[in-house]
Amino acid sequence: MDGIHDMGGRQGFGPVGARTDEPVFAADWERHAFALSGVLLLHGLATMSSFRHAIERMDPGHYLTSSYYEHWTTAIATLVAEAGVASAQELADLAGGEVPLSRPAVTDGQVGPAAEAPYAVGDEVRVRDVHPSGHTRLPGYVRGRRGRVVRVDPAYVVPDEEAHVAEPASEATYGVRFEARELWGRDGDPVHVDLWQRYLEAAP
């Protein structure tokens, strides 16, 4: 989905700021939010892809104004509610206030399976200009852009499917190098993005 999480190349966020020493977890609830993700994975209430997508489906304003582990908390509450483990009202009653949930998944417009033969290192490819409404790991800033394959990786489960269906397909992934001029219209440093085969087509 073209969500707020897809941040590559967005402008206006300002400086990174100081990199201060910080503990692994800033508060005890962060420890538990982190570990509950493991509980959900263990019991099949989430996959890596459905977990990421539950964060992506957060209200964009909430996403931008809440901390990293609040994102995780919202995703976990959403997946627990969507699995029928607890209703939003039960969670709210226990928490003593609203427990915000992410918006429902919309899964039309998925990217279909790869239609072309595998690529090899050195191949010129173009990223398909597709805009799936569900989960995808195709960053918006490379859509429609031309690049060159620099690494061929093994087949991995396709996240676009894993987030939404029970038996997702696997496909090769590729490390693809994009020149700055292709991405940003000016000279600069190259960016490498790892892309599933279905996101790509041979460059015309």
Partner 1 sequence: MSDHHAPEPLAPVEARVAAIETVLERRGLLDRSLVDAMIEQYEHNLGPMNGARVVARAWLDPAYKRRLLADGTAAIGELGYGGPEGHHVVVVENTPTVHNLVVCTLCSCYPWPLLGLPPTWYKSAPYRSRAVREPRALLAEMGTEIPDDVEIRVWDSSAEARYLVLPERPAGTDGLDEEQLAALVDRDAMIGVARP
Residue pair 150/175 in contact (Cβ under 8 Å)? The answer is: yes
**From 14-22, 110-118, 121-129, 160-168, span contacting partner 1 (CB under 8 A):** 14-22
Within 10 angstroms of residue 23's Cβ, the number of other Cβ atoms is 7
Residue 187, interface with partner 1 (CB under 8 A)? no
C-alpha span between 199 and 128 (Å, rounded): 6
**From 3-11, 107-115, 121-129, 161-169, span contacting partner 1 (CB under 8 A):** 3-11
Least separation in angstroms between CB 104 and partner 1: 19
Q: What are the φ/ψ torsions at residue 152 (nearest 5 degrees)?
A: -110, 120
Interface residue with partner 1 among 103, 107, 128, 156 (CB under 8 A) is: 156
- Residue carrying the six token digits 């790991």: 137
Residue 98, interface with partner 1 (CB under 8 A)? yes
Interface residue with partner 1 among 33, 54, 58, 111 (CB under 8 A) is: 33
**Residues contacting 35, CB < 8 A, separation 6+:** none
C-alpha span between 25 and 93 (Å, rounded): 27
Interface residue with partner 1 among 46, 49, 52, 145 (CB under 8 A) is: 52
Q: Looking at beta carbons only, is 38 or 109 nearer to partner 1?
A: 38
Residue 45, interface with partner 1 (CB under 8 A)? yes
Residue 77, interface with partner 1 (CB under 8 A)? yes
Least separation in angstroms between CB 43 and partner 1: 5
Within 10 angstroms of residue 96's Cβ, the number of other Cβ atoms is 7
